[in-house]
Amino acid sequence: MKQQMINALGSAHELEVLYRGSPQEFIRVFPEVFAEHPDAPILQAWRARLLFENQREEKRDVKPSRWTRRDIWLTVALALGAGTLAKLPQLFSALDAGRFYSRNVSGIVVGALIVFFLVQKPSRTPGAARILILLLAAGLYLNFLPHQANSQTVVLSCLHMPLFLWSLLGVAFMGGSWKDRAARMEFVRYSGELLIFTTVILIGGMVLTGLTFALFGMIDMKIEDWYLRNVVVYGAVASPIVATLLIERIVDDRFKIAPLLAKLFTPLFFLTAVSYLLAMTLNNKSPFTNRDFLVAFNGLLLVVLGLCVFSVSERAARESSGISDMLNIGLVSVTLVIDLIALAAILFRLASYGFTPNRLAVLGANLLAFVHLAGIVSSSMRTFRAGRVVPDLEKWIVGYLPVYTAWSLIVAVGFPLLFRFR
């Protein structure tokens, strides 16, 4: 980018094309180019432009120091609306609770979060109508799937559609900047913080529920059934909405829990992964015939991806490489070995027992994770050698996310039709 900008100093059009093609990279490199050519009139004009846009962006995106009355009313309204939708099987006995929740609970929760961001950031979301239409279409599709006993494709659809819904939430969160690398990384940060804050709120709710039962039990009042059917339902659905309000309005940008926990648990997971491989080898345990091994492997893949992403998400661009980078590289490398074993085991089961929707879905997910992890290892090695975060690492991490979205749609929509709802 730096060399391209220097070559384009004689053309305002070419500089504009470079900026529009990769604005974050252009802004990052600009100080270096300006320092080498401070007398270039076109760079002086660009310096004034970028300074003005940066000040305007800071004013527009600054977070209030505390929540407003509007924020509270919006959160309460969304919590009541989502909670009421979650209670529909209780209000209408004709609805099968198992079928309803398996196909709608993710849409109810994610839909409430989408509305939250569409209301809070209307100017940044020109495609709000398209987001809501896709959200509604996904919900209708799941509910119109046939209710067949032991249908693998229907179960896979219910498991993979939430990932697509989460992608819609990302578009609502990022608004018109959904193609921008920095905006995608910000959504990744939000996702990690949301998971942690929601978990903390739910744990607090469980403690409150236990104390409430104990206190009312001492005065011989049995409120368990009413409490579970009402307070717990509304509280569980409201927890991610309240967590989002806390993240957006209260939690300071300098205090992020997800990257801290990622750095804390990375060495522990590294030791666990290495110990697991050694123990499996010494005990002559084969993952080729044991399905539980594959489940454990896939769980480890998800956790390692999360640890790597959250570790990088809050790392300063000029922060020097250290032991945490070495541990990340080691953990991902060991996980790649485990993923190779898992892929071999899946291929063995396909060859031995035949093709099924479940096996194809697991194979595809493992292949996607393997490619993603391999790219992370390669970029992390370049980062370690450079002594700082290189743009390729963040670009690879967040640039690969649409691949997961595409795969979730293939499994959720394509598999039921391809396998005729088997």
Q: What is the pLDDT of residues 118-149, one digit of tens each?
A: 888 764 545 788 889 999 999 999 989 887 77
Question: What pLDDT, on a 0 to 100 scale, did the predictor assign at position 105?
Answer: 92
- Domain annotation covers residue 418: no
pTM exceeding the 0.85 threshold for the entire prediction: no
Total structural domains within the chain? 3
Looking at 249, 267, 294, which one is the last position of a domain? 249
- Asked if 284 and 347 sit in the same domain, the reply is yes
Q: 368 and 301: one domain?
A: yes
Residues of the chain with pLDDT under 70: 52-67, 122-126, 176, 252-256, 285-292, 312-322, 324, 383-384, 386-391
Residues 21 and 93 reside in one and the same domain: no
Sign of the alpha-carbon dihedral angle for 258, 260, 263, 267: negative
Q: 304 and 332 in one domain?
A: yes
The pLDDT, as a whole number, for residue 255 is: 60
Same domain, 204 and 318: no
- Is residue 415, in this structure, part of any structural domain at all? no
Residue where a domain stops, chosen among 13, 28, 61: 61
Neighbours of 275 (CB within 10 A): 10
State the pLDDT at residue 148.
Answer: 75
- Residue 89 domain-assigned (yes or no): yes
Both tokens of 320, joined, read 């020097």
Q: Is residue 412 part of a domain?
A: no
Minimal CA–CA distance to 328: which of 275, 383, 367?
Answer: 383
Note down the domain range covering 77: 69-249
Q: Distances in Å between the alpha carbon of 113 and those of 109, 172, 239, 276, 298?
A: 7, 9, 11, 38, 28
- Classified as helix, coil or strand, 16 is helix
Based on the fold, state whether residues 37 and 160 are members of the same structural domain: no
135 and 199 housed in the same domain? yes
Tell me whether residue 268 is in a domain: yes
Same domain, 241 and 279: no
DSSP H helical segments within 250-356, as ranges?
257-282, 291-313, 323-353
pLDDT of residue 79: 93
Q: Which amino acid is at 103?
A: R
Q: How many CA atoms lie within 13 A of 356 on its CB side?
A: 15
Question: Can you give the pLDDT at residue 211?
Answer: 92
What pLDDT is recorded for position 387? 60
Same domain, 57 and 74: no
Widest distance between CA atoms in the chain: 85
Q: What is the pLDDT of residue 240?
A: 94
Instruction: Write down which residue in 249, 268, 287 finishes a domain.
Output: 249
Residue 187 belongs to some domain of the structure = yes
Residues 320, 176 share a domain: no
Mark whether 46 and 87 lie in a shared domain.
no
Q: Give the whole-angstrom CA distance, residue 202 versus residue 239.
A: 7
Flag whether 405 is in a domain: no
- CB of 174 closer than 8 Å to CB of 184: yes
Under 8 Å CB-to-CB from 336, ≥6 apart: which residues?
A: 370, 373, 374, 377
Q: What whole-number distance in Å separates Cα of residue 384 and Cα of residue 397?
A: 16
Rounded (5°) CA angle 207-212-213: 100
| pLDDT computed for residue 391 by the predictor | 64
In a domain, 400, yes or no: no
6 and 88 in a single domain? The answer is no
